[in-house]
Amino acid sequence: MPYLFTSESVSEGHPDKISDQISDALIDNFLAFDPQSKVACETLVTTGQVVLAGEVKSNTYLDVQKIARDVINRIGYVKGEYMFDGSSCGVLSAIHDQSPDINQGVDRTSPEEQGAGDQGMMFGYATNETQNYMPLALDVSHRLLKELANLRRENKEITYLRPDAKAQVTIEYSDDNVPQRIKTIVISTQHDEFADEPAMLKKIKEDLISILIPRVKAQLIPEIQALFTDDITYHINPTGKFVIGGPHGDAGLTGRKIIVDTYGGKGAHGGGAFSGKDPSKVDRSAAYATRHIAKNMVAAGIADEVLVQVSYAIGVAEPMGIYINTYGTSKVDLKDGVIAEKIQKIFDMRPYAIEQRLKLRNPIYEETAAYGHMGRTNEVVQKTFVSPDGTSLTLDVELFTWEKLDYVDRLKKEFDL
């Protein structure tokens, strides 16, 4: 019997995502001027206020207020009527030195023996149902909101959009786990005030269905475009008016959208957030490393769907273990436990090795903090950072290294594919 699966995404203007982006902008600036920085920073946003808190061990000094304001303005909170804007909001910093009790468990005389920054388990997941090896419902949800943000910035076809938004997509699957159609799309978008509320709701629904949906469909391969049938149920701003939004509508906190950040409820999640953490924190680095493994395994044809788990003890370099689940889709005549043993020999999962393999001590994190950390485009970009004393630093950095398919050939050889 067919079944339904739903995933959601939130826009860069969602309060929790504002917090994530500020926290990761701080990470990037610390790493740009001191790549060995150890940082764990949290952000709270609410009406007219930003609160920064956390621990830092770094040789650089930053103007954290300016960094926070720049992020808020870039997202689009630039008007006083939003009750939260980058130029006028208060920014309180309560960032202090990192505890030496924690740091002694991470730093080692030999970098290769760097201990894990915390205990815990991390998961990576991949599926062949999309070209970027991501779950379809989440991929479409992200695309809807990225394109909605493009429309907002263009301010031509749709001129009333504000930064806060959410999307949710429900997919109908066959018994053999193949997507059959998109059953439901839910979009809630913040907007300017309208004089006539019924006319407003009608206008927003018509614009999103006739302008946004075709632009998203055009990005997709024909097989997925065919899932956009005339029978989709649309819920557009189902509560009605959505003028009050952003941090004025709801407080935002770093790390509250970890399922949006990963696989939309598919696979699994170890519980640790990513944003605001430097790569010595395995919550972040090992989650990227397990995604890298899972994606390369599926691309190599080992299985149609793969879940990878790794676990650590704080201060210990070697992981406690690696777990593989192919959900019965394995294309090789090996048990999942044997596959895991082979994977453990190919991928060095010590924290330092992960940092080096994926180039994680670079300022690459602000881009991860909206529209998902996984399934993104691996590319090299140029970024410029300015310190409080006016020093300007321009770097070429490689984004989303964990999305590279650079182990496919090696995996094929190891598994005789």
- 283 carries an active-site annotation: yes
Which amino acid is it at 38? Answer: K
**Which one of 70, 113, 250, 414 is the catalytic residue?**
250
Which residues touch 178 (CB under 8 Å, ≥6 apart)? 129
* 241 among annotated binding-site residues: yes
* 266 among annotated binding-site residues: no
- 242 carries an active-site annotation: yes
* 410 among annotated binding-site residues: no
**Which one of 8, 261, 283, 403 is the catalytic residue?**
283
**Which one of 53, 251, 299, 313 is the catalytic residue?**
251
* 256 among annotated binding-site residues: yes
* 164 among annotated binding-site residues: yes
**Which one of 256, 269, 357, 373 is the catalytic residue?**
256
- 16 carries an active-site annotation: yes
* 79 among annotated binding-site residues: no
- 414 carries an active-site annotation: no
- 250 carries an active-site annotation: yes
**Which one of 16, 129, 305, 367 is the catalytic residue?**
16
- 251 carries an active-site annotation: yes
* 273 among annotated binding-site residues: yes
Asked if 87 contacts 78 with a C-beta cutoff of 8 angstroms, the reply is yes
**Which one of 146, 257, 291, 295 is the catalytic residue?**
257
* 146 among annotated binding-site residues: no
* 16 among annotated binding-site residues: yes
* 257 among annotated binding-site residues: yes
**Rounded to the nearest 10 degrees, what angle do helices 351-358 and 282-299 cross at?**
60
- 412 carries an active-site annotation: no
* 287 among annotated binding-site residues: no
Distance CA 344, CA 289 (A): 12
- 281 carries an active-site annotation: yes
* 166 among annotated binding-site residues: yes
**Which one of 14, 57, 69, 357 is the catalytic residue?**
14
**Which one of 146, 277, 291, 373 is the catalytic residue?**
277
Q: Could you tell me the end-to-end alpha-carbon distance of the chain, in angstroms, rounded to an integer?
A: 33
**Which one of 166, 291, 292, 295 is the catalytic residue?**
166
- 157 carries an active-site annotation: no
**Which one of 8, 12, 17, 366 is the catalytic residue?**
17
Distance CA 51, CA 90 (A): 8
Tokens 């053999």 found at: 176
- 256 carries an active-site annotation: yes
373 CB neighbour count, 10 Å cutoff: 25
* 242 among annotated binding-site residues: yes
Distance CA 152, CA 154 (A): 6
**Residues comprising the binding site for L-methionine?**
55, 98, 250, 281
**Residues comprising the binding site for Mg(2+)?**
16
**Residues comprising the binding site for K(+)?**
42
**Residues comprising the binding site for ATP?**
14, 164-166, 241-242, 250, 256-257, 273, 277
Q: So which residues are the catalytic ones?
A: 14, 16-17, 42, 55, 166, 242, 250-251, 256-257, 277, 281, 283
**Residues comprising the binding site?**
14, 16, 42, 55, 98, 164-166, 241-242, 250, 256-257, 273, 277, 281
